[in-house]
Copies of this chain bind each other. A is one copy, B any other.
Amino acid sequence: MRLHDYFRSSASYRVRIAINLKGLTVERRFVHLRRGGGEHRAPAYAALNPQALVPTLEDGALAIGQSLAILEYLDETVPDPPLLPRDPVLRAQARSFALSICCDIHPLHNLRVLETARESGGDEAAWARRWIDAGLSPLETLARRWGNGERAVGDRTSIADICLVPQLAAARRFGCDLQAVPTLLSIERALAALPAFDAAQPQLQPDAE
């Protein structure tokens, strides 16, 4: 198994956490998104992943992008420990929570969108904060409803937690005020104690600057 990865990418960070939770050893290839016009735009990488985004997971005949598809694939092929609850209601809640981040927060502040916001004369950090603040507020409500204060949904680590931690790290990078989301911060503190989450942090990766 080979992971194409960039230390600062939230989507890559999610996959690193999952790989650590599963105890997998994977080959790492680093794709620097800011160097040389973006190594993700190089023909060989774009042939592998036509979206030219990170991460990409290769496993035998498989080469896919999209972090949540990678998490689901890892969970189906290496079932222990599970990344999704067994109960259908909790399972749906975990996916919904994760998708709220992956669809409605992160894509609005990733590199290509910020570049476009800046070209249009906007303030890119303000643009990022706007969508992160708008996105985290309902997740605070949902985590109170669905979680236990240490996990976002139910009482076991799931894809909801795996998506939450990189999103909070990104929120800090853009200077968001996180006082309004104490439950999310309490979950983050609980998860920080897990080696799988700790070792996946951007600044601990071999390609970190």
Contact = CB atoms under 8 A, between A and B. Distances in A.
B107 A65 contact: no
Interface of A: 50-53, 60-62, 64-66, 68-70, 72-73, 76-77, 88-89, 91-93, 95-96, 99-100, 102-104, 106-108, 112-113, 116-117, 120-122, 127, 130, 134, 137-139, 141-142
Contact of A99 (B91, B102, B142): B102
Given A99-B102, A103-B103, A108-B108, A138 B92 contact: no
B96 A66 contact: yes
Main SS of chain A's interface residues?
A: helix
Copies in the complex: 2
A88 B73 contact: yes
19 contacts: A51-B100, A61-B89, A62-B92, A62-B93, A64-B93, A65-B100, A66-B95, A66-B100, A69-B92, A69-B95, A69-B96, A72-B91, A73-B88, A76-B91, A102-B103, A103-B103, A108-B108, A117-B120, A121-B121
